């Protein structure tokens, strides 16, 4: 389940008992259209990671051994294992340890607005990409699922992401079954034809299909279509920042 606000690019879980560091980092994240959930209790943070989707995780190294627990919980979570990770460190030795443990970026104290924003400029493209990978846009258009051994299934789409599409139909779709799903997305029109596999089906006639392989051109066009829909959900004051950062290629961490 996502914790992302309707007008945010993504959600970030910040685990720290340092009120000053939390405030500075939260201000910078919110200025970049990211919603923030702060946890001062590690056990509560672990619970959130197991139940909700976050695009990024920030952990204060002053929490000691709990830092490792947070990182392990993140990596064992199907929804969060690719989330972008930040560590709050208090010197070069801690910074080196954090990077060795697998954190992608660091906020090294003493923190300033400039130092935090510098790190975010490097990491932002990755966060945008992480959000877009899991972004599901609700859309209802006619769809056809062609199967080799069975009749075609006529359905309607419910939502779409980079990785698949949800359908509603009167014909039960068995998990594991495969076929070619075809539909046309609106505004701007985009014809989608892809081999897909049924991942789940419920009693309401809804099913989730994952795309097996998308041709490069179609994958690129679908990414662009979804990026436009994600942008349309943002408040005007962050749209230009989103455009600039989503075009930037992520650099190497310092």
112-166 pLDDT, tens digit each:
999 999 999 889 888 888 888 888 999 999 999 998 878 899 999 999 999 999 9
- The model's confidence at residue 247, banded by pLDDT at 50, 70 and 90, is low
Identify the pLDDT of residue 29. 94
- The better pLDDT of the pair 129, 203 is held by 203
pTM > 0.95: yes or no: no
pLDDT higher than 70, residue 4: no
Q: Give the helix/strand (H/E) hosting 73.
A: helix 66-76
Identify the pLDDT of residue 2. 46
d(CA 20, CA 90): 14
Cβ-Cβ contacts under 8 Å for 166 (sequence gap 6 or more): 136, 157, 158, 159, 160, 206, 207, 208, 209
Instruction: Kindly state the average pLDDT of the residues 60-89.
Output: 94
Percent of the chain with pLDDT over 70: 89
Question: Is the Cβ–Cβ distance between 21 and 109 less than 8 Å?
Answer: yes
Tokens coding 184: 């046309």
Domains identified in the chain and CATH numbers: 10-134 (3.40.50.2300), 137-214 (2.40.10.220)
- The better pLDDT of the pair 246, 8 is held by 8
d(CA 196, CA 211): 4
Cβ-Cβ contacts under 8 Å for 41 (sequence gap 6 or more): none
Instruction: Kindly state the average pLDDT of the residues 30-37.
Output: 90
Identify the pLDDT of residue 131. 85
Instruction: Kindly state the average pLDDT of the residues 156-184.
Output: 95
pLDDT higher than 60, residue 251: no
């Amino acid at each position: 389940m996502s914790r992302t606000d309707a007008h945010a690019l993504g959600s970030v879980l910040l685990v720290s008992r340092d009120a000053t560091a939390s405030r500075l980092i939260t201000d910078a994240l919110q200025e970049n259209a990211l919603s923030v959930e702060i946890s001062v209790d590690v056990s509560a943070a672990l619970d959130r990671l197991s139940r909700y989707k976050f695009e990024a995780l920030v952990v204060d190294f002053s929490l000691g051994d709990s830092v490792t627990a947070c990182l392990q919980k993140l990596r064992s979570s199907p929804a969060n294992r690719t989330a972008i990770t930040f560590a709050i460190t208090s010197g070069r030795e801690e910074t080196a340890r954090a990077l060795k443990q697998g954190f992608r970026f660091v906020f090294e104290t003493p923190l300033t607005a400039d130092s935090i924003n510098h790190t975010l400029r490097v990491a932002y493209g990755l966060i945008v990409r992480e959000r877009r990978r899991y972004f599901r846009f609700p859309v209802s258009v006619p769809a056809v699922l062609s199967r080799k051994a069975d009749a075609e299934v006529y359905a309607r789409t419910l939502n779409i992401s980079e990785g698949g599409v949800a359908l509603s139909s009167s014909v039960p779709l068995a998990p594991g079954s495969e076929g070619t799903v075809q539909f046309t997305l609106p505004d701007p029109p985009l014809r989608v034809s892809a081999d897909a596999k049924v991942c789940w089906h419920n009693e309401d006639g809804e099913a989730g299909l994952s795309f097996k392989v998308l041709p490069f051109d179609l994958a690129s066009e679908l990414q662009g279509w979804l990026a436009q829909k994600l942008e349309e959900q943002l408040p005007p004051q962050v749209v230009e920042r989103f455009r600039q950062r989503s075009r930037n290629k992520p650099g190497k961490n310092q």
